[in-house]
Amino acid sequence: MKRILLFCSAGMSTSLLVTKMQNAAKAMEMDVSIDAFPEAEMASHLDDADVVLLGPQIRFALGRAKKLCSEKNIPVDVINSMDYGMMDGEKVLKTALKMMENQNREDHP
């Protein structure tokens, strides 16, 4: 099972997006785990993550997130602010899946 983690200021604003992403995954018959946490807890949740996405409101934390995630070979990026604003769970899920696919390509050329 793939694990997608979303981080934002307090872990609350991404909860609706997580639900929409879970619904999109279910519609695509995909077995993924999607959770949201406060950015301050990032280091303690990365062990079994396959991809990390940051809410646009914590874009400033991308440098720290990249440092933490690179140590564990986890792709990380900021969620597109338009997709986030529209709460487009399907599009954000597809972005996360593409990030995992690209990471796998880099790991196994």
Catalytic residues: 8
Residue 18 in tokens: 């997580």
Give, as one character, the DSSP assignment of residue 90. H
CB atoms within 10 A of CB 32: 20
What is the Cα–Cα distance from 34 to 89, expressed in whole angstroms? 11
